[in-house]
Amino acid sequence: MTDLKTGHTLAALLLGTALVAGAPAAAQDLAGKTVEFTILFSESGGSAQWANFYAPLLSEALPGNPTVVVRYRPGAGSTEGANWFQEQTNGDGTVIFGTSGSTQFPYLLGDPRVRYEYKDWKVVLGSGTGGVVYLPPDLGARFDGDFDDLKGEACLYGSQGATTLDLVPLLAFKLPGLQVDPVFGIEGRGDGRLMFERGEANIDYQTSSAYLRSVVPLVEQGLAVPAFSYGALDAAGNIVRDPTFPDIPTFAEVCEATEGCETSGTGWEAWKAFFTSGFAAQKLV
């Protein structure tokens, strides 16, 4: 995913970075101005929480300490708002917006609704998250760091759709040769976890926060076994262990340990591109 230029997941604001490409930070005096921070979803979602968390930090970090106001522009899975941003010509730093994996994926997949181009934008902040894939105890007992003993096992997975963030786990299941049938139509990953708990699915993943909140208790009760995390990116763009889950191997480690699974080639590069844009650099300003 070279076009997105988001190989590095930033842990904090890039203090003093200009919002307009090529302009020096000293020239971006926003004192007394209002910066409109537009996100592409409703005010009740996770992106709204993310934007409202960062808004006061942006105000503190930007030259002149402008007022930063969050605006909401939902529609067409975020592509409508991204198309709107592409057309903006105001270059004084008072118009910024936030994307998500739901904005990155249509771009990467060539969605005909996309009229925006990441190469035209200056990314000043990236926020990532992780994900952990886990198994029920019977399959977990046969998992020893590779999937060689599970390749013939029929698995069911509750999925929100093949072109959503679920594309990342679906590709991760395919590369090692697992026989996973997705059950499409669930509305959220919480529904997928409930399917797992009811025995209606025997493989699942949750993002870091949901895994810590809802799956770790299952692991502690012996009702779930972690298989791998997606990992994180280091400063060079290499996949390393997620610092939130240092004891859980990455998908790259499990793939390398599984016969026939390669961490190179078209399949791997596709997985890494969608992992990067959907998790390691999920939300961008």
pLDDT bracket for residue 11 (50, 70, 90): very low
- Domain residue limits, the chain: 2-127, 131-280
Residue bearing the bigger pLDDT, 162 or 258 = 258
pLDDT bracket for residue 7 (50, 70, 90): very low
Place of tokens 């930063």: 68
DSSP state for residue 123 in the 8-state scheme = -
Place of tokens 């997606």: 230
Q: Name residue 7's amino acid.
A: G
* Torsion from C-alpha of 77, 46, 175, 148, nearest 10 degrees: -150
Q: Percentage of residues in the chain with pLDDT exceeding 70?
A: 91
* Spatial CB neighbours of 178, under 8 Å, sequence gap ≥ 6: 147, 150, 151, 153, 155, 203
pLDDT bracket for residue 27 (50, 70, 90): low
* Residue 83 · residue 114 · CB < 8 Å: yes
Place of tokens 């899975």: 77
Q: CA-CA distance, 139 to 110, in Å (whole number)?
A: 37
Q: How many CA atoms lie within 13 A of 226 on its CB side?
A: 23
* Residue 184 · residue 159 · CB < 8 Å: yes
pLDDT tens digits for 161-208? 888 899 999 999 999 999 999 999 888 899 999 999 999 999 999 999
131-280: CATH number? 3.40.190.10
Q: What are the DSSP calls for 199-249, one per residue? A: TS-S-EEEEHHHIIIIIHHHHHTTS-EEEEE--EE-TTS-EE--TTSTTSP
User: Would you put residue 142 in left (φ > 0), alpha (ψ -120 to 50) or beta?
Assistant: alpha
Element (H, E) at 86: helix 79-86
pLDDT bracket for residue 3 (50, 70, 90): very low
Q: CA-CA distance, 238 to 221, in Å (whole number)?
A: 34
Q: CA-CA distance, 232 to 43, in Å (whole number)?
A: 28
